[in-house]
Amino acid sequence: MKNILIVLLGAALAVVLGLYAYMYLGMYNMGADSPHWRMTVSMLTMMRERSIEMHAAEVVVPSNLDDPAVILKGAGQYAAMCTGCHLAPGIADSEIRPGLYPRPPNLSKVRVDPREAFWVIKHGIKMSAMPAWGFSHDDATIWTMVAFLRKLPGMTPTEYRDIVAKAPPDDDMGPMDRDMPMGDHASAAASPTHRP
Ligand code: HEC
C-alpha cells in the first residue's frame, strides 16, 4: 500500500516538473498564428462562456436602451472604438482583424445578450484583444454601446453611415480621431481643438 502511494506521488511530481520544464524551456509556441488544439479551444470556450454568464447575472439592465438619443450616442462610440476589430455594415474587413486570435465576432451579424455585452465591454476578456473599456468609460456610456449593439445586426451600410454621421462626437477624443477606426488618446490630447 505504502509503495503504491510513493509511486503515485512520484508520478504526480514528474508530471508537474515536466510541465514546468516545458513552460520554462520556452517550448510552447506563444505566436498568435499558431492555433490551439481543439481540446484547448473547447476548454477555453467553456470557461469563457460560463465565466461571462455567471458574472453578468448580477448586472441590472437600465430601462432606457430603446431611447433614440442613447442609441445615437452608442453609434458614435462604436464607430470610434470598435469597428477595427468588430466590423460594421459596409466595413467587411480591417488590417488588424485577420491577425487577431481569437478572432473578434462580427457584431453587425451577431446578436448579443445585453447583460453579457455590458459585462464584457466593461471588463474585457483576458488573453484576447478585447479591452476593458471600464477603465476609460463610465457605466452609462457603456450602456449606450449596448443599446447600439441591439440595433446593429440587420442595419444596412447606408443606415449605419447615416446614424454614425448624426451621432454626437465621442467626447473622449479630439475631432481628428473621429474618422479613424481606432484613434488613440495620445494624439487626441495633442490636438489643439480637443475639448476637455
Ligand atoms: C483590438 C480588438 C478589439 C477592440 C478594439 C474591441 N474588441 Fe470587442 N472583442 C475582441 C475580441 C478578440 C473578442 C472575443 C474574445 C474571445 O472570444 O475570447 C471580443 C468580444 C466582444 C464582445 C463579446 C461578443 C460575444 O459574442 O460574446 C462584445 C460585446 C464586444 N467585444 C464589444 C466591443 C465593443 C463595444 C468595442 C468598442 C468599444 C470593442 N468590443 C472593441 C476584440 C476587440
Q: How confident is the model at residue 123 (pLDDT cuts 50, 70, 90)?
A: very high
Say if residue 23 is in the same domain as residue 58: no
| 130 pocket-lining for ligand 1 (C-beta < 6 Å) | yes
Of 147, 171, 94, 59, residue with least CA distance to 86: 94
Say if residue 84 is in the same domain as residue 46: yes
- What is the CA(15)–ligand 1 centre distance, in A? 36
| 81 pocket-lining for ligand 1 (C-beta < 6 Å) | yes
Q: How many CA atoms lie within 13 A of 36 on its CB side?
A: 11
Q: How far is CA 52 from CA 62, 78, 93, 103, 168, in A?
A: 19, 21, 27, 18, 30
- What is the CA(22)–ligand 1 centre distance, in A? 31
The mean pLDDT of the chain is: 89
pLDDT-above-70 percentage for the chain: 87
**Predicted TM-score (pTM) of this structure:** 0.86
Say if residue 24 is in the same domain as residue 107: no
Residue 170 confidence (pLDDT): 77
Say if residue 5 is in the same domain as residue 80: no
More confident residue, 169 or 157: 157
Res 104 pLDDT > 50: yes
In a domain, 36, yes or no: no
Cell numbers found for residue 30: 506563444
Say if residue 172 is in the same domain as residue 104: yes
Say if residue 14 is in the same domain as residue 111: no
Say if residue 13 is in the same domain as residue 77: no
Cell numbers found for residue 18: 515536466
Residue 172 confidence (pLDDT): 62
Residue 1 confidence (pLDDT): 78
Say if residue 21 is in the same domain as residue 78: no
Say if residue 160 is in the same domain as residue 74: yes
Kindly report the CATH number assigned to the domain that includes residue 53. Answer: 1.10.760
C-beta separation of 137 from 172 below 8 A = yes
| 82 pocket-lining for ligand 1 (C-beta < 6 Å) | yes
Instruction: Please give the average per-residue pLDDT across 54-64, as a whole number.
Output: 97
Q: How confident is the model at residue 173 (pLDDT cuts 50, 70, 90)?
A: low
User: What atom of ligand 1 comes closest to residue 100's alpha carbon?
Assistant: 12
- What is the CA(21)–ligand 1 centre distance, in A? 34
Residue 188 confidence (pLDDT): 40
Cell numbers found for residue 101: 486570435
Res 93 pLDDT > 50: yes
Q: How confident is the model at residue 2 (pLDDT cuts 50, 70, 90)?
A: confident
Say if residue 104 is in the same domain as residue 21: no
Say if residue 46 is in the same domain as residue 11: no
Say if residue 26 is in the same domain as residue 52: no
pLDDT-above-90 percentage for the chain: 84
If one counts the domains in the chain, the total is 2
Could you tell me the residue range of the domain that residue 10 belongs to?
Answer: 1-30
C-beta separation of 78 from 152 below 8 A = yes
